[in-house]
Amino acid sequence: MSPEQMALMRTAASQACALLKVLGNEDRLLLLCQMVDGEKCVSDFEALLGIRQPTLSQQLGVLRNEGLVNTRRDGKRIYYSIASAEARQVLELLYGLYCPAMPATITEKDSVHAD
């Protein structure tokens, strides 16, 4: 491997580590998972996740500072959405590995085998 290739590999590894460090916090991971389906505001996150507002603000600030989320203001509300294509791809992979099948999917499979 050439020195140039090694330098590129180190840069890529550094970027991957930075993303994984942000995703390594359970609250931040849950927040990003909720944004996969579309933008959400703080009150949405509170209702969906049961995370209190001070913690939400802190963790959303980290996601914003790391460039993983976009914000959009609508009146008094600020909506958050995923800004990073890399983060979205990692979230989709994690979902496939760790999230259980939806009940409707299980029911559909069972009904196919019942015939």
pTM for the whole structure = 0.80
Angle separating helix axes 53-65 and 26-35, nearest 10 degrees: 80
Q: Which domains does the chain have, with CATH numbers?
A: 3-114 (1.10.10.10)
What is the C-alpha to C-alpha distance for residues 69 and 39, in angstroms, rounded to an integer? 10
The answer to whether residue 114 scores a pLDDT higher than 50 is: no
pLDDT value at position 103?
Answer: 54
Q: Name the band, by pLDDT with cuts 50, 70 and 90, for residue 109.
A: very low
The mean of the pLDDT values for the chain is 88
The answer to whether residue 113 scores a pLDDT higher than 60 is: no
CB 71 within 8 A of CB 87: no
- What values do phi and psi take at 52, rounded to 5? -70, 155
Tens-digit pLDDT profile for residues 6-35: 999 999 999 999 999 999 999 999 999 999
pLDDT value at position 99?
Answer: 85
pLDDT value at position 105?
Answer: 40
pLDDT value at position 102?
Answer: 53
Task: Pick the closest to residue 94 from 20, 44, 38 (CA basis).
Answer: 20
- What values do phi and psi take at 81, rounded to 5? -140, 160
